[in-house]
Structure 1
Amino acid sequence: MFERKKKHNSLSGHRILGLGVLCLFAFCLLAQETVKKDTQPKQKSKVFLLHSDLLRKDSRHPDAQVVVGNVVFRHDSVYMYCDSAYYYDQISSFEAFSNVRMEQGDTLFLYGDHLYYDGMTQIAEMRMNVRMENRNTTLLTDSLNYDRVYNLGYFFDGGTLMDEQNVLTSEWGEYNPSTKQSVFNYNVKLVNPQFTLTSDTLRYNTATKIANIVGPSDIVSDANHIYSERGYYNTVTGKADLYDRSVLTNEGKQLTGDTLFYDRNAGIGEAFHNMVMNDTVNKNMMTGDYGFYNEKIKYAFATRKAVAIDYSQGDSLFLHGDTLMLETFNLNTDSMYREMRAFHKVRFYRTDVQGVADSLVFSTVDSCLTMYKDPILWNKNQQLVGEQVKIYMNDSTIDWAHIINQALSIEQIDSVLYNQVTGKEMKSYFRDGQMWKTEVIGSVRVVYYPMDSDSTLIGMNVSETSQLDIYLKDQKLERMVMSPKSNGTLYPMSQIPKGTDRLQNFVWFDYIRPLNKADIFNWRAKKAEDQLKKNTRPPVELPNQHLFEEKKK
């Protein structure tokens, strides 16, 4: 019994194993059939001759049928028309002549005088007076190849692409009717009613009307000029995103940045990172990590490490503030003027003059530069301080300066000795850029070290008066005139009383002074003990104010 059961189990195992082998064999055959089917080349569709008025053979073209009159061919969904053709039935191709037309659906039409169409490769070679139409886009050339597989037409002997917005010409180009994308190379020119773009390489989409700049390109209009090597320009909206140090030029002003945004219709340009705004007419520029310019209202500003540079005098002046701004008023009128503003933490440097202030304004109305809140000026070994400083210019050179309230002038003689003059206000006058006269007005106090002819110090003079006029020659003291006249006190150098060699408001701000053009970014505030004392004035009583107070009660 046991032996029979064992034999039965053995036979069952063999049947299962045999069935598995048969299934595996069948699977392998099926797989081979599938691979064989997939690797077999697909059958090419045939080009059919649908109609002609005449069909004949020609001994000069033994492989062709000559078809004449109202000729119509079809390949898949494409219909082709001509006056006559050589039809190569065996290779599914034809050569068409005169009034050639190709229609693909209801969107693509191709016209020309001569066509060779290869049904195997599906490439149409159209020649002479070629015109391709795709909805609102027209392509004109004398030689065009159209690849139906990739839906791509390309010319190589000069061509013109036109849509509702632009006309583009180049020596070589291609156009895809499906994606509406075109590529142009060699002597590319895009003409728009508002501007002209020239380049060596350009990509353009006839649907979006966006030009993709991929090589050195110039966009020129009546008002401005753009140079870019990479970016996007929307020819409808006039908006552009430009990269790789593109340059926008408008009436002598150039805006450059790692990235530029420009809106032609709004007249707005923005520059990001390493911005340079250069005015080649007035010979000044602004730099920073961000810049903005409105060409319509002539307004500009810069920020993020902003610097204004004036290079009109040969020796450039470098000025830094948190924000720099240029604004134009009364535009296109006889009273037009501009203001340049810098705020806050203003510092500037030039080899001959340095300064700091919280803010400043330069106006072309009176050619005046005004420094506000804790202004300090340095020139060589001289320092000027006041509550407000006004500098009046004449043809880019200083004409005269006005220091208002708590005016203090200090000249450093050596490390411990200083000539000092203080008063309510000072007015300094210049000739050919050199100071020749200074007027000190109101509560004048002087600490001065006169010298003999060999520059030996005679002593220290301390004087007080109401007005002091100082005359200089070759930037050296020539004479002083006090009104009313003051004899003062002259102390010999060995007998100077302690504490008399400094005016009460003396401060030497050497720790604030900009040392070079790089130091303008390092803001250093005044020490608490060196702050100017605020003026304390009694309240002004208005006429008949007592009557107002009584009525109030």
Structure 2
Amino acid sequence: MSYMENAIQSPEGATYFSLGHRPKCETIFQFSNFPIPNATIYIYVKKCFVLLMILSATNAFAQKGSQVTVKKTKIEILNADLFTAEKIKDVEVRKLKGNVQFKQEDMLMFCDSAYFFGEKNSITAYSNVRITQGDSMTLTGNRLDYDGDKKYAIVKENVVLQDRQMTLTTDRLDYEMNKKVAFYLNGGTITDAENRLTSKRGYYHSKSHDLFFRKDVELINPEYTMNCDTLQYNTVSRKAFFHGPTTIQSKDDYIYCETGWYHTEKNIAQFGKNAFLNSGSQYLYGDSLYYNKKKSFGKAVGNIRVKDTLEKLLIEGQYAEHFIDKRKTFITKDVLVTKASENDSLFMTGDTIRSAYDSTGKYRILRGYNHVRVYNKEFQAACDSLIYSFIDSTIDLRIDPVFWFGAYQTTAEHILVHTKNNKVNQVDLNQKSFILNKEDTLRYGQVKGRNMVAHFTDNQLRQIDVNGNGESIYYARDDDSAYIGVNKIASSNIKIYVKEQKVTRINFIQDPDAVLHPIKEANPLDFRLQGFRWRAAERPKNVADLRRQPAVVKK
């Protein structure tokens, strides 16, 4: 519209000026199918695990607006208190002043003063300009440039667009009536009763029903503040999309993502690309985070990390489900749990890890299922079912459990490990208890009983109590550590004292039956108690070895 940039004479006097120099005035538009939706835009963020975003909008455009055909109709002059005509640079210009009124098809335009370019079928209007094409919306500004052939309107300076629910302010708003596209490029602000949205650029495409906010987008709500590069919303699908780095900050929660969407009717959200949620001491990371508000359900897929800085806990995996109301989490596929402490860390893997809280709601409980393995510098474990309680730091091993510490292997139907700061205090072996230590390639020290309790000091075994049906095979040595015999003993209850991982004394409490066999007459394969099962192949050597699935020694 280069003709609007030509120097012209104001109806108020003989001063010539361009678009860059004009008298201050006010412009008003009013029409029902202007392509800014009659909308309230708001986002609500759900506390703790995931983001909830609600973006509601209604299309305020008449059906006929999306079916406009391009046809040229002349602008009619209906009224003016003062009317003059002259030529400026060989262009016929009509100057109108006072109660000016124009008409084109069903659109009426009003203003205090205007230039009408009849040959070009265009208007430059000043002061109290008003365009009506319905009564649902009002647009005000200081100047209007309108091309009647192209049906292209530009409103500049102190532009304010209002409907019954929201207000848009900007310095310039362009509206292509035939294409049903409106946009601002120099910054705009949308406000309603609770929200304030600002962006450098804003677009609405009526034909595709897409609304875009771009560059430095910020949405401020009493509950949160959202910042993103691009916010896109479709008024038909009711889906909002986030593009580029996006943050949502509330009093207690913080969310970051670089791509995502929210369905305003179904209350379903998904966030991706470097996405994470922070709520207090808890963090959730994942390639894709999904949330369903109606079901109070969240899901994370790909490179998942659940971190709690207060509990010094990190859970990694590839797939997770979170039930928000129940405060339960399910994590599977390549799982690794890390529980840090001042002295060392406890690591755990399994096919599936479940996290929940006890009946008080204060203490976390972790459960591991299938191929569970545990590693710590001082002890290791394997089983098919594990329970780790944060209230007392106990490790409950079930379903074919085995527990190693130093040179010792322990097995039982049920093993309960008591720890503090990832150090072992006590190990309870319940039902079919068995302790092994390897003397050499063929010989094994063995203790068997119904139940046992292993006592530790500073992570070192110091005493073993055997309660019921006790049996022991002990290889005696001389002062030079040479074997002198094999002691096979049976006693109802036994106490074994250990120092530096070597047996120093054995007390047989009740009805002992002991036989010492000379070492030369003792075949090591004949001295293995019933239930003997050496499972060193299952023992994890380090953290990296945890994910290895070893061959399990059969019972």
Using structure 1 for the length normalisation, give the TM-score. Answer: 0.77
How many residues of Structure 1 are paired with residues of Structure 2 in the alignment? 484
2:460 paired with 1:460: no
Check whether the contact 2:378–2:459 (CA below 8 A) recurs between aligned residues.
Answer: no
Check whether the contact 1:79–1:104 (CA below 8 A) recurs between aligned residues.
Answer: yes
Higher mean C-alpha displacement, 377-386 vs 444-453 = 444-453
Q: Aligned equivalents of 1:53 and 1:452: distance in 2?
A: 127
Q: Aligned equivalents of 1:252 and 1:523: distance in 2?
A: 36
- Structure-2 change in CA distance of 1:498 and 1:186 (3 Å): closer
Check whether the contact 2:80–2:101 (CA below 8 A) recurs between aligned residues.
Answer: yes
What is aligned with 1:413?
Answer: 439
What is aligned with 2:380?
Answer: 354
Q: Aligned equivalents of 2:439 and 2:101: distance in 1?
A: 104
What is aligned with 1:540?
Answer: none
2:495 paired with 1:469: yes
- Structure-2 change in CA distance of 1:82 and 1:178 (3 Å): farther
Q: Aligned equivalents of 2:108 and 2:288: distance in 1?
A: 49
- Structure-2 change in CA distance of 1:466 and 1:437 (3 Å): same
Check whether the contact 1:226–1:249 (CA below 8 A) recurs between aligned residues.
Answer: yes
Q: Aligned equivalents of 1:146 and 1:337: distance in 2?
A: 59
Higher mean C-alpha displacement, 319-328 vs 123-132 = 319-328
Offset at 1:226? Answer: 2.3
Offset at 1:383? Answer: 0.9
2:48 paired with 1:47: no
Higher mean C-alpha displacement, 122-131 vs 204-213 = 204-213
- The answer to which structure has the higher helix fraction is 1
From 208, 211, 214, the equivalent of 1:185 is 214
In structure 1, stretches of 5+ residues that fail to align are 1-41, 531-553
Check whether the contact 1:80–1:103 (CA below 8 A) recurs between aligned residues.
Answer: yes
Check whether the contact 1:426–1:440 (CA below 8 A) recurs between aligned residues.
Answer: yes
- Structure-2 change in CA distance of 1:366 and 1:312 (3 Å): closer
What is aligned with 1:479?
Answer: 505
- Structure-2 change in CA distance of 1:396 and 1:209 (3 Å): farther
What is aligned with 2:404?
Answer: 378
Deviations 1:341-368 (A, max 9, x none): 2223433344543322231222345432
Listed as ranges, the matches of 1:80-479 within 5 Å are 80-107=109-136, 109-133=138-162, 136-162=165-191, 166-177=195-206, 179-205=208-234, 210-234=239-263, 238-264=267-293, 267-312=296-341, 316-331=345-360, 336-350=362-376, 352-452=378-478, 455-479=481-505
Q: Aligned equivalents of 2:192 and 2:234: distance in 1?
A: 10
Q: Aligned equivalents of 2:495 and 2:294: distance in 1?
A: 57
- Structure-2 change in CA distance of 1:306 and 1:172 (3 Å): same
Higher mean C-alpha displacement, 487-496 vs 49-58 = 487-496
Q: Aligned equivalents of 2:137 and 2:178: distance in 1?
A: 14
Q: Aligned equivalents of 1:294 and 1:447: distance in 2?
A: 51
SS at 1:522 equivalent: coil
In structure 2, stretches of 5+ residues that fail to align are 1-69
1:259 is matched by which residue type in structure 2? S
Check whether the contact 2:306–2:315 (CA below 8 A) recurs between aligned residues.
Answer: yes
Q: Aligned equivalents of 1:210 and 1:463: distance in 2?
A: 76
Q: Aligned equivalents of 1:284 and 1:357: distance in 2?
A: 21
- Structure-2 change in CA distance of 1:474 and 1:518 (3 Å): closer
What is aligned with 2:519?
Answer: 493
Check whether the contact 2:371–2:549 (CA below 8 A) recurs between aligned residues.
Answer: no
Offset at 1:416? Answer: 1.0
- Structure-2 change in CA distance of 1:66 and 1:425 (3 Å): same
Check whether the contact 1:305–1:521 (CA below 8 A) recurs between aligned residues.
Answer: no
SS at 1:231 equivalent: strand
Q: Aligned equivalents of 2:164 and 2:107: distance in 1?
A: 17
Offset at 1:307? Answer: 4.0
Check whether the contact 1:130–1:143 (CA below 8 A) recurs between aligned residues.
Answer: yes
Using structure 2 for the length normalisation, give the TM-score. Answer: 0.77
**What is the aligned-residue RMSD (CA, Å)?**
3.2
What is aligned with 2:96?
Answer: 67
Q: Aligned equivalents of 1:232 and 1:290: distance in 2?
A: 20
Q: Aligned equivalents of 2:129 and 2:207: distance in 1?
A: 22
Offset at 1:408? Answer: 0.7
Q: Aligned equivalents of 2:340 and 2:548: distance in 1?
A: 19
SS at 1:494 equivalent: helix
What is aligned with 1:522?
Answer: 549
Which structure has the larger Rg?
1
What is aligned with 2:17?
Answer: none
Q: Aligned equivalents of 2:391 and 2:309: distance in 1?
A: 21
2:506 is matched by which residue type in structure 1? M
1:481 is matched by which residue type in structure 2? N
2:84 paired with 1:56: yes
